[in-house]
Amino acid sequence: MQAPLTSSQLAELQRLDSCSVSNAIETFKVRMRNTGFADSSIRCMFEDFPPMVGYAATARLRSGEPPMEGRSFHDRTDWWKSILKVPAPRIVVLEDMDRRPGLGAFVGDVHAAILKALGCVGYVTNGAVRGLPAVREMGFHLFAGNIAVSHAYAHIFDIGSPIELAGMQVHPGDLLHGDRHGVLTIPHEVAAGIPEAAAKQMEKEHRVIEVCGSPDFSLERLAEAIK
């Protein structure tokens, strides 16, 4: 993996919305335009939060079936240690492997507090979350497929593997960006150039919007602005 971005580079990315980041990535032609982002099945739970930026710590989870013995699964301290191997700021990304993802919520207020203590800024899953008021108070980002009342038998397995959720492939250490529009990965090889590319794209968009709002609007002026 390439060296992590500096704190100032991460701050520049956080000042951008995810749509602008997506547009900027397209200019580098490093991937297909229909890849690299989660589809609308994953929702941003706190749409008023500023954008989330961080590196992915991945694993898989299940919540529907009880353990072979006992009444619940125990927390995996080895999973916590694996999270710390990812550069900060960290984002936990869990693929819910149940036939019906989201029956039980792995992350609520308690696990959000644990993850925040481990240097995580957010959580992304195709499964469920809960405890939203308390998690909001922590300033911890949540992106999920649904909200659930129970944690059921939620437990972690297959730590640190490449995963896929909502059409988005995520490898450990991938750089993620998320806000009210959704979540996407940022290819490492172009990450440092995203703010400049986004600024150029926004300047072009502003010219088009300006022409559309002008009293002198014409199709000719619109075609020229787009060109």
Cβ neighbours, 10 Å, residue 215: 4
Domains and CATH numbers, the chain: 7-190 (3.50.30.40)
In angstroms, the CA 62 to CA 156 distance is 7
Residue 1 has pLDDT above 60, yes or no: no
pTM of the model: 0.92
Residue 72 has pLDDT above 60, yes or no: no
How confident is the model at residue 78, as a pLDDT? 87
Residue 76 has pLDDT above 80, yes or no: no
Q: Which residue carries 């800024």 as its tokens?
A: 121
Mean pLDDT of all residues in 15-37: 97
- Assess contact for 38 and 27: CB atoms under 8 A: no
Mean pLDDT of all residues in 191-212: 93
Confidence of residue 67 (pLDDT cuts 50, 70, 90): low
Mean pLDDT of all residues in 132-143: 98
Taking all residues of the chain, what is their mean pLDDT, rounded to a whole number?
A: 93
Q: In one letter, which amino acid is 167?
A: G
- The Cα diameter of the chain in Å comes to 75
CA–chain centroid gap for 132, Å, is 17
- Of the candidates 86, 83, 142, the one whose C-alpha atom is nearest the C-alpha of residue 109 is 142
Mean pLDDT of all residues in 138-151: 97
* The pair of three-digit structure tokens given for residue 163, joined into one six-digit string: 């995963």
Confidence of residue 226 (pLDDT cuts 50, 70, 90): confident
- Assess contact for 107 and 115: CB atoms under 8 A: yes
DSSP per residue over 103-153, as a string?
A: SSEEESHHHHHHHHHTTEEEEEESSEE--HHHHHHHT-EEEESEE-S--TT
Mean pLDDT of all residues in 105-133: 97
How confident is the model at residue 42, as a pLDDT? 97
In angstroms, the CA 99 to CA 31 distance is 30
Query: Torsions phi, psi of 209, nearest 5?
Result: -65, -40
Mean pLDDT of all residues in 69-94: 83
Higher pLDDT, 153 or 21: 21
- Assess contact for 12 and 195: CB atoms under 8 A: yes
Non-local (6+) Cβ contacts of 122 within 8 A are: 52, 54, 91, 92, 140, 141, 142, 143, 178
How confident is the model at residue 71, as a pLDDT? 54
Span 164-188, pLDDT tens digits: 999 999 999 999 999 999 999 999 9
Mean pLDDT of all residues in 69-86: 76
How confident is the model at residue 227, as a pLDDT? 78
